[in-house]
Structure 1
């Protein structure tokens, strides 16, 4: 009875799940099983060939023996008939005198005999044939009878010998029947003697050889499997040790090394592996130290600049407030100073945030966030900037809430950076913000119809301080770190932040967040390629 398969979507457990995983992961198991299967195929072919040769040899030897014995019996019968010539003219009595000694000889030597004839006139099935007691005369094939319908030399064929068993029932077994013609002096007609020799001994011998070959094949396969397991273990064990050490190195245990034994290829591989690990450890430590110094420098500079920036900010505010009393040139200088101070302060804040990400100190303050509300708030906050640029921000969101477990401050900063960036690059006066969600994820897409992105720039756009057109002014006062910080915020949530663009047709940025922190995103509720782009959606 077969075991029913588990319901769709229900994970397999126990042996059903362990066996495929073990087969995929174990080189040793695959090598041993493959070797055993190939060896089994070879042993099967060789065993079949040996059995055929043994069978043919046994049968050929038996055929030669029985044909010779039949010829000898026929010769002796002819001698007896020759000695009886002239003394008896009764054909029936002469047939009995012919067949009885052969039957007695057959009982001693283990064969049966049938006397049929006259040839061409009667067949065994017509009756009148004389044969060994208990023998079923249908054991003589009709094809051999047809052969002897005309004068012919001795002939033989295989047959199935049927005779009465000890319990009164009929038993059968393979055999050889040899036919030979003889002339009866009493009536001068030809009669056919059929000698039926069983092949029981040959059948037993062949069965014994088959059992011996099967036993030898099983033992040979076990031996081959054991030898293969031992040989592969000598190779796989060092590889498994190297895998475990590599996993520890990948986990940060840089002091792990392989044990070197001997001077063979595996030992030299272990030596090279250890040298590589030492070199990587040294370079990683150098990079960690450099990164630590760099993060410390950025943090220290950012903090140290805040004090003089505060002083300059105070002086700038005084000048900006009194700009109406200055001449036009000085008043314009005061306005420019105020603008650059705002940008400089924003840059310091962004640098401090980047340094937190680099140091791994950024944390989430997660709560249920309605992305629809976030989109509307961002649209309201950026409306003044959009009006100055002659741009309209349109929000397309469902009437019901679109919730995700997230840090509302960081999500709002991501969306604000995307919308501000879209306004900065929009050229047709419209930026569209779309919100959607499904069972596993929630998404916000920001679409603009500006200069777009060249091929390959969708990945570069999140690099720090990267700009597609260095000559283009930052009308929104951006620092060049907004998209980089947005990407870090997204990764902190376990989400996706992706970009699409085409030169002259605008760009679209898509933020996808899991419904719950730690959830896995398999598909975004919104396409990355907008429907009006004329490309297949993704």
Structure 2
């Protein structure tokens, strides 16, 4: 049981450690992210920034490595030189002091008291250092005529370590040295070297240890000066290399920037934009190829524009030219229809068919003229404040008699007047409700109106045959029919939905559709409330609420819509408050 409790406490301790590490990492990320995010953005977007950064890091690492190597080499050389000088100087002073001791008259017992000061003076005169410390070796019998230790400064006495003392006593080498740090009363410190040797005093006075200290403060200052010089040189080199890399990068990437700028100008519609030559073998090939491509594209665009203009002119001219014979045919049809009572049954049926087809022909010509205006970009909007709920009521009331089922209106919003071209919006709603009647298979039809702060939407829902996903992608194409074998009951021309989408786009709105086989369809018209609204969310979801949206990958919540761009002409608004 005790072992189990120990394991549990260990797991809890590791869990606390992990939680602490996670919290620390999150704090570091929160602190570092505001600093690194701008650089990460530049790194991911700019090839020149990546090139300069990599070059700077590699160059900085090389300069730092070279600086550390040079500084280490200079430091080692200086230290080795000063150490060798100290050893030579100490050996010379030791020999001079031992010579003084050997020449001392052993019969002169009175001179032993001044011998210590003579030894100190001799070492000072011979050595380059004035830090002297002489001490009787530990374990020897005291000698009253000579003091057990004498020195010139307490800084050296404090720096002598027990290890150095033991090595001098136990080892037979003539010299021993040790790197130390000298601490002074004012708190200052400096590196140094202590060289230790032995002196044998006469008259049985014993063996004394001679310690000579060498201050390396001047060497430290020299190294600091070298380090500052290397640092300033490294900074200057980094700045110079950075400037050099910046200039070279701008020179190297200039053709790429020119190509990008030229491509942007071409995309913006400047057909005469061309890429200048860069006086480089490879980039000149790129420039020539880019310019040839631009020339080819310009020629093809001109051909397509000319063909489009010719096609639009042809449709417009044919539509206008057909109106005269169509008017004559319609007048003849009306004359025949007026004399229908005097005709036989077969002739009466022929007159009815002729009248119906003439009306359908007139509608087709009208739609062709309208679609040609959109293709030519010569659409004029006559906007006025319009209540969309009242407009939908009027359209539904006019089409209710043609529907075998009830058309329900759900006005959840949209009562505030919106500046639109009422004739075009009425045409959109009429087309959508007419399609619902056409394909609703006698099921109820629901027209929903709703609005939010930025947009107003109208949705027409039917529970008819519906369409497949492939058919939905073509439903707004001109003269396209989901089922060509189906008979038109309301006399459509095949251009209704195409014109309806253009009518929606010219208002800055969007007409989209949801449909599924055997579950019906829903068309949704979304219009912005103001001209300055560019992004808006439709107040009505595209997928009806009665549909299982989890099995259908589409816009369920309405989704953000972006206002399409259309070049239109607006007529003066009359009757506005």
Same fold (TM over 0.5): yes
Q: Which residue of 1 aligns with 2:440?
A: 426
| Native 8 Å contact 1:88 1:94 kept in 2 | no
CA distance in 1, matches of 2:470, 2:206: 106
- Cross-structure match for 1:163: 184
Match of 2:403 in 1: 386
**How has the CA–CA distance of structure 1 residues 299 and 82 changed in structure 2, closer, same or farther, with 3 Å as cutoff?**
same
Q: Does the 8 A contact of 2:333 with 2:354 survive in 1? A: yes
**Where do residues 217-228 of structure 1 align in structure 2 (5 Å cutoff)?**
217-228=234-245
Partner in structure 2 of residue 407 of structure 1 = 421
Deviations 1:93-115 (A, max 9, x none): 65544444334555xx2462333
* 1:371-382 matched pairs, under 5 angstroms: 371-382=388-399
The answer to whether the aligner puts 1:439 opposite 2:467 as a matched pair is: no
1:115 touches 1:193 (CA, 8 Å); kept in 2? yes
TM-score, length-scaled by structure 2: 0.77
Distance (whole Å) between structure 1 residues aligned to residue 338 and residue 126 of structure 2: 142
Which position in structure 1 is the counterpart of 2:371?
A: 354
User: Whole-Å Cα distance in 2 between the matches of residues 85 and 325 of structure 1?
Assistant: 175
Tell me what 1:59 maps to: 79
The answer to whether structure 1 residue 310 and structure 2 residue 327 are counterparts is yes
The yes-or-no answer on 1:201 pairing with 2:222 is no
What TM-score do the two structures reach when normalised by structure 1?
Answer: 0.82
Counterpart Cα distance in 2 of 1:400 and 1:180:
107
Match of 2:292 in 1: 275
| 1:42 has 2:56 as partner | no
- How many residues get paired? 508
Partner of 2:153: 133
Query: Could you say if the C-alpha distance between residues 72 and 260 of structure 1 is closer, same or farther in structure 2, counting changes exceeding 3 Å?
Result: same
Partner of 1:256 in structure 2?
273
Distance 1:483-1:91 versus aligned 2 partners, 3 A rule: farther
1:450 partner SS: coil
Mapped partners of 2:201, 2:466: distance in 1: 116
Unaligned runs of 5+ residues in structure 1 are: 1-17, 122-126
5 Å-filtered alignment, 1:15-34, equals 28=48, 31-32=51-52
Between the aligned partners of 1:32 and 1:64, the Cα distance in structure 2 is: 47
For the pair 1:296 / 2:317, whether they are aligned, the reply is no
SS, match of residue 531 in structure 1: coil
RMSD of aligned residue pairs (Cα, Å): 3.6
What do residues 253-275 of structure 1 show as CA deviations (whole Å, max 9, x unaligned)?
32333333545111121111211
Pick closer, same or farther for the CA change 1:385–1:45 going to 2, 3 Å.
farther
Question: Given the alignment of the two structures, is residue 519 of structure 1 paired with residue 533 of structure 2, yes or no?
Answer: yes
Q: 3-state DSSP class of the match of 1:474?
A: coil
- Structure 1 residues 488-513: Cα deviation after superposition (integer angstroms, max 9, x where no partner): 22222222222222222222222222
Q: Using the alignment, how far apart are the partners of 1:405 and 1:178 within structure 2?
A: 102
Matches within 5 A, 1:439-458: 439-458=453-472
How many Å separate the matches in 2 of 1:428 and 1:209?
98
Partner of 2:132: 113
Name the counterpart of 1:491: 505
Alpha-carbon shift at residue 290 of structure 1 (Å): 0.4
> For residues 462 and 132 of structure 1, do their structure 2 counterparts lie closer, same or farther at Cα, with a shift above 3 Å needed?
farther
SS of residue in 2 equivalent to 1:209: helix
Is the CA contact 1:23–1:29 (under 8 Å) kept in the aligned structure 2? Answer: yes
